[in-house]
Structure 1
């Protein structure tokens, strides 16, 4: 496996097509023109290659505050972690001390990757971040969590078991929110993509329910620091 920044227009166009394929849309997720402008402005699109095959890509911008904003990332299973480390190496080479990006709060596997595998922290919940979306992966309102990844050290992930009083019920009739008075736990579906295919209405109910937990928790000074294997976010005070 090799990783390198893509700087030529044909290569950038290939990445644009790759992003569209991953998001199962004929529309541009990020166009060739946009990706080339990002590169020209000092950002980078880093590709992951298995031989000549493009198996992952991520695009980031260097920000005025000295951080990197990761705009998008997609990869074949098993490639995401080394690809993110390659982006981290690029960012550190510019002197960046942290990296930020957003993701869908209902996608448990992404949450576990971000919070447990990388050791990042969720610091913000934004309602309908992009406005309504309609591609092969996303439909309806686009709530997003913002992740902050410290590039100067490593946070030891911990995964305390959900405990305490059940204070809210999920759309599937099972517990949604638990608290022991100090920590808060919030559950999401194990596979929201499948829920969206099987029952779009229930998927909307999940979004609204999880939104309520996170918005209130962040307003009270919490951040999300863990995701269990069975779909429970762990939130604790800053």
Structure 2
């Protein structure tokens, strides 16, 4: 594989087994998303049950034993797995830790004959989209409106929680090449007035805000407009046979026509 992680020294990812480890993971998830109306995003008892049902809870520690990240993975249909939740500790978001969590999940899956992993993510969080599609090499051709309804944590705001479904083929050779930026002319304006939907020769580009989490706090109406606008654009593109295969550094999804199987 060609993945590169720059963390130094490299933290260690290991499977969690004890209730103390599950509680630590649950508290980390709570530190990231906050407590919602039902409590923590996922409780330690549920994590323990998921691991017991032949799933995987990963903990990522530094050399001194501090918990830097956690993730939970379960089995899906034969040969597939589903990643339920993953997060790095607050203050450590730019250290390549998310990649270490995903690579640990990937290795665990391949050792068990699992060759495809899927998960959902917020279409409007561009940094996560870039990680999933460009860094990992996952692809997206499915949009799920109101997947979680309206969530009550401190990140997702008060809009319906739409989700894209990522599909990561674990035997692929590594991250994708940097996707091209859209053409400099034309395009349909987004809620901020700048071009956000561009059609090219066999491709489409859809832009999302630079920081939707901050926008939800500063301008909820515009954040809501981004949700409804991009929902329409993604749904139309997927119905027309496009698949999202990368995200540029400027926050543009790059969609190409899906290859025939």
Give the TM-score of the pair, scaled to structure 1. 0.96
Residue 199 (structure 1) aligned with residue 233 (structure 2):
no
Residue 167 of structure 1, CA deviation: 4.3
Q: Does 1:222 align with 2:235?
A: no
Q: CA deviation at 1:25?
A: 2.1
Asked whether 1:49 is paired with 2:61, we answer: yes
Indicate which of 80, 89, 92 corresponds to 2:98. 80
Q: Quote the Cα distance in structure 2 between the aligned partners of 1:189 and 1:132.
A: 20
| Contact 1:115–1:157 (CA under 8 A) maintained in structure 2 | no
Which of structure 1's runs of 4+ aligned residues deviate more than 4 A?
none
Check conservation: 2:69, 2:98, Cα contact below 8 A: yes
SS at match of 1:133: coil
After TM superposition, the structure 1 stretch with the greater mean CA deviation from structure 2, 91-100 or 163-172, is: 163-172
Pick from 83, 96, 99: which aligns with 2:117? 99
The alignment status of 1:31 with 2:51, answered yes or no, reads no
Say which of 195, 205, 208 aligns to 1:185. Answer: 205
Give, in angstroms, the shift of residue 158 of structure 1.
Answer: 3.9
- 2: CA distance, partners of 1:224 / 1:64: 23
2:147 maps to: 129
Q: Residue by residue, what CA displacement relative to the aligned partner does 1:33-68 show, whole Å, maximum 9, x if unpaired?
A: 211111111101000001221110110011232111
**Deviation at 1:154?**
2.0
**Structure 2 partner of 1:15:** 25
Which structure shows the bigger proportion of residues in strand conformation? 1
2-structure distance, mates of 1:64, 1:231: 32
State whether residues 128 and 143 of structure 1, in contact with CA within 8 Å, keep that contact through their aligned partners in structure 2: yes
How far apart in 2 are the matches of 1:64 and 1:144?
Answer: 20
Aligned to 1:145: 164
Contact 2:178 2:248 in 1 (8 A): no
Question: Which residue pairs with 2:7 in the alignment?
Answer: none
For 1:25 and 1:168, the matched residues in 2 are separated by: 38
TM-score, normalization: structure 2?
Answer: 0.88
Partner Cα distance (2:173, 2:187) in 1? 33
Separation of aligned partners in 2, 1:160 and 1:88? 27
Q: State the distance in 1 between where 2:71 and 2:234 align.
A: 27
In structure 2, the partner of 1:65 is: 78
Q: Which moved more, 1:224-233 or 1:156-165?
A: 156-165
Deviation at 1:165, TM superposition (A): 6.3
The number of residues matched between the two structures is 238
Give the equivalent residue in structure 1 for 2:254. 234
Encode CA deviations 1:82-111: one digit per residue, 9 max, x unaligned.
121111111111111111011100001001
2-structure distance, mates of 1:165, 1:214: 21
> 1:181 offset after TM fit, Å?
3.9
Superposed CA RMSD: 1.4
